Amino acid sequence: MKSANEREQLIKNINGLLNQAYDSTLDKIYALLQKIEDEEEEEELKAYELAKKSAEIDGSVSWEEAKKELKQEIKKEVA
């Protein structure tokens, strides 16, 4: 992962090149970025589904479910 300074400089460099690019090149770059974003979303969805199946198999629970259970246990102890 890039540092904040490296990332900022890279974005500045990209912006400089984008400002000089032809419209057709901008269209291609935009399409490529959209494709990359779609692929990343698909990978995240697959990872989520895999984690969900794994949790079902090994009996683990999500953090949200664990918090709910903990709150219920605390209420039982207080009552």
**What pLDDT digit, counting tens, does each position of 46-79 carry?**
887 887 777 777 777 677 777 788 888 887 776 6
Cα–Cα distance measured from residue 45 to residue 57, given in angstroms and rounded to the nearest whole number: 18
**What stretches of the chain show up as alpha helix (H) in DSSP?**
4-20, 23-58, 63-78
Give the predicted TM-score (pTM) of the model: 0.56
**What pLDDT digit, counting tens, does each position of 30-42 carry?**
999 999 999 998 9
Residue 47 has a pLDDT of 84
Question: 11-39 burial string, b = 16+ CB within 10 Å, else e?
Answer: eeeeeeeeeeeeeeeeeeeeeeeeeeeee
C-alpha distances (whole Å) from 66 to each of 21, 27, 50, 60 are 51, 46, 19, 9
Residue 74 has a pLDDT of 80
